[in-house]
Amino acid sequence: MKRALPLVAATVLALGSCSSIETSQDFSPSMDFSRLQTFDWMPEPPRTRDTRVSNDLVDRRFKIALEEILETKGFRKLNSGRTDFRVGYHLTLDQEVDYQTLNTYWGGGWRYGGLYGPTVGTTTVQARAYTVGTLIIDVFDVESQELVWRGSGEGRVSDDDMSPEQRQRRVTEAVSRVLDRFPPNR
């Protein structure tokens, strides 16, 4: 399980089922997003020590998804020359714990006036660890050299045993959810 987790968790940032992804966006209200037509990638950030999110397989899946979705929105990727905007993404995985408390009581009984007889009870607390994945997508305006749009998505990460094709579909779904409201006023 530990051996498979690094690739599975990050590539399936699909965050469980995509309907459970909580998304948000922020953008510069003064930006004229209608003038954006061409894009390229931000320079590669330094790799992190977390190989679950910082490896070539994960990077390739997210770049494929980002390019496909931006192109379906009418943007063109340029491999050379001056572009209108640059796009970059960042992934994080965090461990969270969910605690559930179960109280069990027996004995005694109810009557007019309250409880009677001896009552015995136990309390059981169960801790369930899970991984939360966060995908952040940034859009930088080349002309002003400023961040003009940021979208994020967060949800539980599924570590199901999936084929590479299924992982790509899940990544594409997650990216699509985050980019759903980009550009904000086009």
What is the band of 79 on the pLDDT scale with cuts at 50, 70, 90? confident
Token pair of 100, please?
Answer: 């559930």
Q: Which residue has the tokens 């003038």?
A: 35
Higher-confidence residue: 19 or 154?
154
Element (H, E) at 18: none
- Reduced to 3 states, what is the DSSP secondary structure of residue 70? helix
8 A C-beta contact, residue 16 and residue 160: no
Summarize pLDDT for 125-142 with one digit per residue, the tens: 999 988 899 999 999 999
CATH numbers and ranges of domains, the chain: 5-99+130-181 (3.30.160.670)
Model pTM score? 0.76
Main-chain dihedrals φ then ψ at residue 35, nearest 5 degrees: -85, -10
The alpha carbon dihedral of 143, 146, 148, 151 has a sign of: positive
User: Residue 16 has what pLDDT?
Assistant: 47
Distance between start and end Cα atoms, the chain: 45
Q: Which residue type does 152 have?
A: S
- Dihedral over Cα of 126, 22, 24, 82: its sign: positive
Distance CA 23, CA 15 (A): 12
Cα 66 to chain center, whole Å?
13
Share of the chain above pLDDT 90, in %: 49
Residue with tokens 């136990």: 122
Confidence class for position 1, pLDDT limits 50, 70, 90:
very low
